[in-house]
């Protein structure tokens, strides 16, 4: 970007942040107050952005209202956990039923095995399943299991991937990650990954991979890349763990079923709890049965809330609502929206990547195929789009992600298209001066 364009973008951002701050005095005050008791007023890092994040008052259907009274179309869907919107009647009813039956029942309840059966029936690779409270925990357990059953310590992951709070690999890996022997490869790099297997294969307990980098920018894994992982893990005796916490919404058996790849273990989370905290890991019977407490050498997997009745009840209702037909319609709607957005951005350094109901915008005219490509795109334009969309009543993630929920219909998609068209119109000069050779982050 030229010096003039840089100055133009910096000025536009200052103005957008000021407009945002002026429009949201109550959110600002709530943030200041929360900072007294929580570091940065925050208990969920992804929600923070400058100058302060919005405080949401309530939600209904596909709508959100903030504490300053603005209404938004929710195009974020709680980073994919809110697939059912904010007030799906069957889920509300299931939660009320659970409340009526009493909380914290001190034993097995009548719901957990039914939910297990419902999920196993959808995923051909999941013979046996166990529940956790989050996707993070599901991945932690899957890796611990892989280490225990293989007797090896290495875990191959990919730069830019996000597998949970203690399993974050943007920029190579967070200092707070759990201490496995990480080997960090390049997503979608078949030759490089092949070479990694040649050298390190015998050390590997597991390969942990998202079939599409989700939080990392909605970057689909090439089918051939994912098949390579299947072939090479079988050869070297490592377990292939598919993190389908996000991608499981793409088809009844997840992206693995679409690609006919059978993972050894699969991790789930997000929407399966119908909006309640949820996680699960499951897969091959011979591997998962290491947790069978009838075995004298059984591994332990405890968790006070693993079978909590609110999640189990909401999860059962969620499975009923999310029929294969409803899933197909949701993802077809997302595909149509992404195509329309891509058409709008034709000729501009602005790309919409993703699959089905999941998408992320990247301000670059270069292909986006891995974590480094995502990091190299322009972050300032992304921030500007975020504020301009909020101003137009469209709620997305600050990092440019959208995840459609079931109540998002044609009218909502049209509103998104108009808002992005207006952004392109208004910011045309800035977008035009963004050149491929000097893209950088503000």
Which C-beta is closer to ligand PMP: that of 201 or that of 216? 216
The CA–CA distances, whole Å, from 136 to 54, 165, 244, 342 equal 25, 6, 12, 32
Active site residue 243: yes
Which C-beta is closer to ligand PMP: that of 161 or that of 322? 161
Which C-beta is closer to ligand PMP: that of 345 or that of 358? 358
Residue 204 CB, nearest approach to ligand PMP (Å): 20
Which C-beta is closer to ligand PMP: that of 264 or that of 388? 264
Residue 169 CB, nearest approach to ligand PMP (Å): 11
Active site residue 162: yes
The catalytic position among 189, 243, 373, 378 is 243
Q: How far apart are CA 11 and CA 7, in angstroms?
A: 6
Note whether 233 binds ligand PMP by CB under 6 A: no
Give the per-residue contact string, 121-160, with ligand PMP (x = CB under 6 A; - = no): -------------xxx--x---------------------
**Burial annotation 121-136 (CB, 10 A radius, 16+ → b, else e):** ebbebbebbbbbbbbb
- Among 243, 383, 388, 412, indicate the residue that binds ligand PMP (CB under 6 A): 243
Span near ligand PMP by CB under 6 A; candidates 60-68, 243-251, 338-346, 405-413:
243-251
Scan for tokens 């209202």, then name that residue.
Answer: 65
| CB contact at 8 A, 164 and 135 | yes
Residues 389-408 that bind ligand PMP (CB under 6 A): none
The catalytic position among 20, 72, 162, 271 is 162
Span near ligand PMP by CB under 6 A; candidates 55-63, 184-192, 209-217, 408-416:
209-217
Residues 245-264 that bind ligand PMP (CB under 6 A): 245-246
Residue 247 CB, nearest approach to ligand PMP (Å): 7
- Among 252, 254, 269, 400, indicate the residue that binds ligand PMP (CB under 6 A): 269
The catalytic position among 189, 270, 271, 382 is 270
CA dihedral 133, 134, 136, 139 (to 10 degrees): 70
Strands 394-395 and 71-74: parallel
Give the per-residue contact string, 274-313, with ligand PMP (x = CB under 6 A; - = no): -----x----------------------------------
Q: How far apart are CA 131 and CA 137, in angstroms?
A: 9
Which C-beta is closer to ligand PMP: that of 169 or that of 423? 169
Closest of 151, 116, 153 to residue 132, by C-alpha: 116
Scan for tokens 């109901």, then name that residue.
Answer: 357
Strands 154-158 and 181-185: parallel
Span near ligand PMP by CB under 6 A; candidates 31-39, 123-131, 207-215, 331-339:
207-215
Strands 181-185 and 204-209: unpaired
| CB contact at 8 A, 244 and 162 | no
Which C-beta is closer to ligand PMP: that of 242 or that of 423? 242
Span near ligand PMP by CB under 6 A; candidates 64-72, 179-187, 240-248, 424-432:
240-248
Q: CA neighbours within 13 Å on the CB side: how many for 45?
A: 5
- The tokens of 156 are what? 């191959």
Closest of 416, 319, 310, 389 to residue 84, by C-alpha: 319
Residue 278 CB, nearest approach to ligand PMP (Å): 7
Q: How far apart are CA 293 and CA 107, in angstroms?
A: 15
Instruction: Name 95's bridge partners.
Output: none
Phi, psi for 237 (deg, rounded to 5): 80, 20
Question: What is the CB neighbour count within 10 angstroms for residue 43?
Answer: 10
Residue 51: asked if its preceding bond is cis (omega within 30°), the reply is: yes
- Among 79, 158, 225, 387, indicate the residue that binds ligand PMP (CB under 6 A): 79
- Among 160, 201, 214, 275, indicate the residue that binds ligand PMP (CB under 6 A): 214
321 CB-near residues (< 8 Å, 6+ apart): 84, 88, 90, 91, 274, 406
Residue 378 CB, nearest approach to ligand PMP (Å): 23
Q: Hey, which residues are catalytic here?
A: 162, 243, 270
Q: Which residues bind ligand PMP (CB under 6 A)?
A: 79, 134-136, 139, 162-165, 210, 214-215, 243, 245-246, 269, 279
């Amino acid at each position: 970007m030229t010096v003039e364009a840089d100055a133009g973008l910096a000025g536009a951002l200052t103005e957008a942040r000021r407009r945002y701050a002026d429009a949201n005095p109550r959110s600002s005050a709530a943030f200041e107050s929360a900072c007294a008791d929580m570091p940065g007023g925050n208990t969920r890092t992804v929600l923070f952005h400058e100058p302060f994040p919005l405080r949401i008052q309530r939600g209904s259907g596909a709508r959100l209202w903030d504490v300053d009274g603005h209404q938004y179309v929710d195009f974020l869907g709680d980073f994919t956990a809110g697939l059912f919107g904010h007030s799906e009647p069957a889920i509300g009813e299931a939660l009320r039923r659970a409340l009526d039956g009493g909380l914290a029942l001190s034993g097995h309840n009548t719901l957990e095995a039914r939910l297990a059966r419902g999920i196993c029936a959808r995923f051909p690779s999941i013979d046996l399943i166990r529940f956790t409270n989050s996707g993070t925990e599901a991945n932690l357990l899957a890796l611990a299991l892989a280490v225990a059953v293989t007797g090896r310590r290495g875990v191959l992951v990919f730069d830019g991937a996000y597998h949970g709070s203690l399993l974050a690999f943007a920029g190579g890996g967070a200092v707070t990650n759990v201490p496995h022997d990480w080997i960090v490869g390049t997503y979608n790099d078949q030759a490089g990954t092949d070479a990694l297997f040649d050298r390190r294969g015998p050390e590997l307990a597991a390969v942990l991979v998202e079939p599409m980098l989700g939080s990392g920018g909605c970057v689909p894994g090439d089918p051939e890349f994912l098949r390579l992982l299947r072939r090479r893990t079988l050869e070297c005796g490592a377990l292939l763990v598919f993190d389908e916490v996000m991608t499981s919404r793409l088809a009844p058996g997840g992206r693995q079923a679409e690609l006919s790849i059978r993972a050894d273990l699969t991790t789930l989370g997000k929407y399966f709890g119908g909006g309640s905290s949820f996680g699960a890991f499951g897969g091959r019977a011979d591997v998962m049965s290491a947790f069978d407490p009838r075995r004298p050498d059984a591994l332990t997997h405890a968790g006070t809330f693993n079978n909590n009745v609110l999640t189990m009840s909401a999860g059962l209702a969620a499975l009923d609502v999310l029929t294969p037909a409803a899933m197909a319609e949701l993802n077809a709607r997302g595909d149509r929206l992404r195509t329309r957005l891509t058409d709008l951005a034709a000729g501009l350094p602005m790309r919409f990547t993703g699959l089905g109901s999941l998408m992320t915008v990247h301000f670059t005219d270069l292909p986006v195929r891995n974590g480094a490509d995502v990091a190299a795109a322009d972050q300032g334009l992304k921030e500007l789009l975020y504020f301009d969309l909020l101003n137009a009543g469209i709620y997305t993630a600050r990092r440019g992600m959208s995840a459609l929920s079931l109540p998002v219909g044609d009218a909502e998609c049209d509103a998104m298209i108009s808002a992005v068209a207006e952004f392109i119109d208004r910011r045309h000069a800035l977008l035009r001066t963004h050149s491929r050779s000097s893209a950088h982050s503000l």
